[in-house]
Amino acid sequence: CFLSLQKREISNFDYLMYLNTRAGRSYNDYMQYPVFPWVLADYHSETLNLTDCHTFRDLSKPMGAQTVERKQKFIQRFNEVEKDLSAQCHYCTHYSSAIIVASYLVRMEPFTQTFCSLQGGSFDVADRMFHSVKSTWESASRDNMSDVRELTPEFFYLPEFLTNANQIELGCMQDGTVLGDVQLPPWANGDPHKFILLHRQALESDYVSAHLHHWIDLIFGYKQHGSAAVEAVNTYHPYFYGDKTDLNNIKDPLIKSTILGFISNFGQIPKQV
């Protein structure tokens, strides 16, 4: 399959779906939903230039290391944890979880009800809801130390998730903005179909094709854990590595329940492929 990718016999999208499936990710499991990368860093230009390398996200770095300042803060966090503690990591939150998936797709059922269920029966505070592609990128790549989320496949083929066609009352932000359709980058001209078209073109671009293997190493490959992950600033809380935690050897039911709840709520690293 990798050789087919190199020869351009399959698309980058299809290859990522193949990897997700091999790694145990599925549309049927929100806790292990297929994970896709942010591929762009330009959500402010009037025109999207896919021939300019500055248009794109650095695929060789995880979301927590997209800026030098942010990267150093996560390295400092890692180094400040005592060496004998099992929770030494760069990130205590995950790039894909049930709540992240449901928050992205909240404007469509069954995700609307799923999101409310995960939130205890109601929507989140409006300012924390997914309402803008640009602000979400800025949060995940720069501003919020608790946010390192990646994307879902829908960002590359499904314009409907960006519109509030069901007229769901999502609340009102502190600045008075009533949440409705997702705010799109200027280059999309307010058109969800154009956003999806250009976003998919970005995924299949020469730049992403030449650099996508770096991101695959981080999420599915050898930089997923161990010394390579530490060097890449790509380590997560130990409980996120579900296949590394042997629950059968944990006798305390409270500890076992805590670990299962942690994985359920905060996400799980894909199986290494």
Long-range contacts of 158-162 (CB under 8 A, 24+ apart): 158/196, 159/192, 159/193, 159/195, 159/196, 160/108, 160/192, 161/104, 161/105, 161/107, 161/108, 162/107, 162/192, 162/195, 162/196
Residue 119's pLDDT is 86
Residue 255 has pLDDT above 90, yes or no: no
Taking residue 74's Cβ as centre, other Cβ atoms within 10 Å add up to 20
Q: pLDDT-based confidence at 7, cuts 50/70/90?
A: low
Measured between alpha carbons, how far is 229 from 226 in angstroms, rounded to an integer?
5
Residue with tokens 């230009």: 45
Mean pLDDT in the chain?
A: 90
Measured between alpha carbons, how far is 41 from 79 in angstroms, rounded to an integer?
29
Write out pLDDT tens, residues 75-119.
Answer: 999 998 765 455 789 998 999 999 999 999 999 999 999 999 988
Residue 82's pLDDT is 61
Domain 12-266 maps to which CATH number in 2.30.30.240, 1.10.357.10, 1.10.1540.10, 1.10.3720.10?
Answer: 1.10.1540.10
204: CB partners within 8 A, 6+ apart: 11, 12, 13
Residue 261 has pLDDT above 80, yes or no: no
3-state secondary structure of 242: helix
Write out pLDDT tens, residues 205-223.
Answer: 999 999 999 999 999 999 9
Write out pLDDT tens, residues 126-179.
Answer: 889 999 999 999 999 999 999 999 999 999 999 999 999 999 999 899 988 899
Domains of the chain by residue range: 12-266
What's the whole-number mean pLDDT along residues 21-30?
94
Structure-block tokens of residue 230: 């530490």
% of the chain surpassing 90 pLDDT? 72
* Highest mean pLDDT of the ranges 87-91, 121-125, 185-189, 268-272: 185-189
* Model pTM score: 0.90
Specify the higher pLDDT residue, 245 or 111.
111
Residue 5 has pLDDT above 90, yes or no: no
Specify the higher pLDDT residue, 264 or 196.
196
Write out pLDDT tens, residues 31-48.
Answer: 899 999 999 999 999 999
Measured between alpha carbons, how far is 122 from 215 in angstroms, rounded to an integer?
35
DSSP classification of residue 141: I
- Give the CA dihedral 180, 182, 186, 192, nearest 10 degrees: -100
User: Residue-wise over 209-246: b if at least 16 C-beta within 10 A, else e?
Assistant: bebbebbbbbbbbebbbeeebbebbbbbbbbbbbeebe
Contact 118, 33 (CB under 8 A): no
